[in-house]
Chain A
């Protein structure tokens, strides 16, 4: 009898232990997230030589942990047509990070749900030439750890600074590419070149219409084009039509002028649909040919 009870208790214990284990694994939660939010993501300011600009960047803690962070400025430049950002000094380029001062450059603990305004001042030296100068103001977490890979997060506000004076503003549309046959998503890209000495915004507006003129997709963005750089602006109709013939048209407005992009026609289809379309076209042509021959024979 005792052994029966002992075995029953043992079996019960195993079942309870197993169930506890399941519950424990089921209640395992993901680690709380920590990080930062900033606003705005960029500013475009004009300052005269010898002048100053005062601005503010908002730092918010929308995570699940209190966070310590610091604020600082780095240079900003880009590489390639895709504008890969680069935040280290470049030899020969003016490093404008020395022009920045911050009223407050760190916080040991920004509480969850709190936000803080970081006032900053840009002081442009008197002897600086007119043109575009660029920097990024970062808010970076101060994560510390003793073991493993410690991960710090930083989010940056890009500063597009125009030092006023005799600047050269010029640019052009370098290319407008739309392949005539594509698979979904329909893609296009326009490249805008800045041949001047200061940045400008290029407003790119592209529409995709079906063959009946009904607008199916519209794209409008205004990216900054940095001096002496070519920017590739990709346009993609995500989750758009997977089959059909479409008309792609658009315009680019920059430096107070608007240039129309030549209208392009695009056939969107995946490989099986392309084959099916070709077969249908062949059948259609064959029907017409045979039909006209039969009519000619009957007339004879």
Chain B
């Protein structure tokens, strides 16, 4: 009889210990509070260029000489729809101007660019539109090559030079500028302003 009581005590104690252990997480859980952390990450977009001014000086020859120089545009955005990058002249006048003299924009377009002719300027982006793959390389007052350029569009009709569909981190686009001149082009410091426009999609 005593043995039975002892066994009962023992099993009772064991059951109590077991229950305590099992109940512990519940008791601990009951004492825990939860916190929800919210964080809204704002969308950002940035555009940078390697040059504020692209210099393409030309020492002309009778047959014509061509200088090609580049500008690199770097875009970053955390917008998941990506971005669109456009290029256009800053106004409706697409010639490079030096006082009363001007240098005409190339007659080519982004879809149908043409090899540069003397006394014109233009741009190209390797692999875009009808420009061809390239690679273009810079040159200084060398003979006019077969590489194709487009005229800069006016500010009211910009050309899209890149569209992406996801976030971008330091995504670069290289724009090449070509200026070709022969000795009939009056000397001077010719200039025009181009605007790169970048918006999220």
Chain A interface (Cβ < 8 Å from any Cβ of B)? 30-31, 33-42, 58, 60, 62-63, 65, 82-85, 87-88, 136, 138, 140-141, 143, 145-156, 158, 221, 223, 234, 236, 238
Contacts and interface: CB of A to CB of B under 8 A. Distances in A.
A78 B197 CA distance: 14
Contacts of A87: 158, 197
A136 B190 contact: no
Contact of A41 (B44, B55, B155): B44
Contacts of B50: 30-31, 33
B47 A39 contact: no
Contacts, number: 148
B196 A154 contact: yes
Given A149-B194, A152-B90, A156-B198, A36 B46 contact: yes
Interface of B: 42-57, 69, 71, 73-74, 76-77, 79-81, 84, 86, 90, 96, 121, 155-156, 158, 160, 163, 165-166, 177, 189-201
A9 B100 CA distance: 54
B43 A41 contact: yes
Contacts of A36: 46-47
Contact of B42 (A40, A143, A145): A40
Given A154-B197, A156-B198, A35 B48 contact: yes
Nearest to B155: A88
A60 to B, nearest CB: 8
A38 B79 CA distance: 12
Given A60-B44, A149-B194, A221-B81, 4 more contacts: A35-B49, A40-B42, A150-B53, A154-B197
Contacts of A30: 50
B79 A41 contact: yes
A151 B199 contact: no
Contact of B44 (A37, A136, A140, A148): A37
A40 B196 contact: no
B201 A34 contact: no
A85 B196 contact: no
B160 A39 contact: no
A150 B43 contact: no
Contacts of B166: 238
27 contacts: A35-B48, A37-B44, A37-B45, A39-B43, A40-B44, A42-B200, A84-B160, A85-B86, A85-B199, A88-B156, A141-B52, A143-B193, A146-B189, A146-B191, A149-B56, A150-B192, A151-B53, A151-B71, A151-B194, A151-B196, A152-B193, A154-B196, A154-B197, A154-B198, A155-B46, A158-B200, A221-B81
